[in-house]
Structure 1
Amino acid sequence: MNAFDWLNGEAFSVFHQHVIWSDMIGNTIGLAALALGWRRSILTWPAQLLSGLVLVAAYLSAHLSGGVGKQLLVIGVALWGWRQWRRGGRRAQDGSLAIRFATWRERVGLLAGTAVGTLAVGGLFALVPALSWNPWPDAYIFVGTLAAMVAQARGLVEFWFAWLLVDVVGVPLAFSSGLAFSGLVYVVYLALVLWGLRDWWLRSRASTRPVLEGAVA
């Protein structure tokens, strides 16, 4: 048995739903990555990278080409975000990443980019059924994930709102696709997102003066 076969083997069953190893391991690492993002730790990016690599196997087993594409996108953006945080930029007085609310121009850019991207990707998925059996929700999650990760790389509080919107569609889609553990993890994601949102919101309101030098906590 090779590594791919093992990853896509059944780990256990929950409520008559079969949970495969790749689904469980990839999403557990993804939860850790979200928690590290809440802590503003640079380790969030390698964790997201590893999660994406493992989840590629899970989506391949479920024949969700759109999900595979999403994870490949996660891997690419994780590498970019890792580089952004390592290069430095705005820092709080304690040396940690300075977080802030987006400007209205940035918000409009994110919303417009997400809307146009969802229409484009959804249209592609609809034209090529082999890419996704459920094109529009898949496209929404695909593009929403990209928007959330880009906002996170820029230290924007709005990245938590983007994850909330992805969760609304991600939970039912995961369960209907037979990825039970993904569905359960999305529910846990929701709790972490709300917690992280509160923390980043409060920190963005703190009267700290950003500096240019320092290491990410």
Structure 2
Amino acid sequence: MLEWLLTGEIAVGGGYLSVPEVVGNIFGLGSALLGMRRLVWAWPVGLLGNILLFTVFVSGSLSNAVAEPLWGQAGRQVVFAAMSLYGWWCWRRTRGVDPGGVAVVPRWAGRTERLQLLLAAVVGYAVAYVALRELGSWGPATEAWILTGSLLATWGMARGWVEFWLLWVAVDVVGVTSLIRAGYYPTAGMYLFYGAFCVAGFISWWRIERSSRTTPVAPLADRVPEGVIT
């Protein structure tokens, strides 16, 4: 079963789909659904998907169109894994503190936080582009965009910022065309669906943020569950 999960193929017409690519994206979708509901399980479910998708992109042999590894996509999964552990820790600290037992109350990033995001986006893209170009990644310009945007979006989700959904939309717009050209059709389809889902998630979190304004909520970093000594 483990061998099938990591190296199996699903026959489709005259070609095939990679099992880890399909299953990894299913886990990714599950993580997104749980994230929209602000449940802690979003993070460990996403982590499993990251592990599977890393095995897909680190080897170009799983694509029907390119032979080179997509180092940007592979590195993206490593970043996701690290950020998932951070987000898991953040949301576990605050689970049950907010009304309804959810892990986080959405809020807009502050002015300083947005400036930090912008600076991180510019620097992150420049560094990622140079690194991916030197590694010989296929399409370093788009790969750098996807890698940097994914990192910032996952960070924003961990912090509970409403803007993180918009960052995902920006990643998906580039990701769909890039992955289709590279031959990773299941992941491209996932990006397309996920883009529409992110719009719905943004609207959902925006409404929650608006309804929570009547009750002041401390920033995520300042909220500590009862019984925890700081």
2:171 to 166, 191, 195: 166
After superposition, give the CA deviation of every residue in 1:2-61 in whole Å (9 maximum; x if it has no partner): 72x7533321337x6642101100001100101110000000100111110010111123
Residue of structure 1 in register with 2:107 after alignment: 100
After superposition, give the CA deviation of every residue in 1:121-168 in whole Å (9 maximum; x if it has no partner): 101212331xx1211111111111110010000000000011000001
- In 1: Cα distance, 2:58 partner to 2:135 partner: 17
Distance 1:150 1:13, change over 3 A: same
1:69 to 50, 75, 80: 75
Consecutive unaligned residues of structure 1, counting only runs of 5 or more, are none
Residues 95, 101 of structure 2: 8 Å contact kept:
no
- In 1: Cα distance, 2:127 partner to 2:224 partner: 39
| Residue identity opposite 2:121 in structure 1 | T
After superposition, give the CA deviation of every residue in 1:171-197 in whole Å (9 maximum; x if it has no partner): 011111111100111111012101110
Residue of structure 2 in register with 1:210 after alignment: 217
TM-score, structure 2 length as denominator? 0.84
Secondary structure of the corresponding residue to residue 51 of structure 1: helix
Q: Identify which range, 61-70 or 99-108, moves more after superposition.
A: 61-70
- In 1: Cα distance, 2:217 partner to 2:149 partner: 29
Secondary structure of the corresponding residue to residue 45 of structure 1: helix
- In 1: Cα distance, 2:15 partner to 2:57 partner: 16
Consecutive unaligned residues of structure 2, counting only runs of 5 or more, are 61-68
Secondary structure of the corresponding residue to residue 19 of structure 1: strand
Deviation at 1:213, TM superposition (A): 5.7
Secondary structure of the corresponding residue to residue 157 of structure 1: coil
Distance 1:27 1:8, change over 3 A: same
Residue of structure 2 in register with 1:9 after alignment: 8
Residues 12, 20 of structure 1: 8 Å contact kept:
no
Residue of structure 2 in register with 1:128 after alignment: 135
Does residue 1:140 correspond to 2:145, yes or no?
yes
| Residue identity opposite 1:67 in structure 2 | Q
More relative contact order, 1 or 2 (CA 8 Å, 6+ apart): 1
- In 2: Cα distance, 1:167 partner to 1:110 partner: 18
Deviation at 1:90, TM superposition (A): 10
2:36 to 31, 35, 38: 38
Residue of structure 1 in register with 2:55 after alignment: 57
| RMSD between superposed Cα atoms in Å | 2.3
Residue of structure 2 in register with 1:27 after alignment: 25
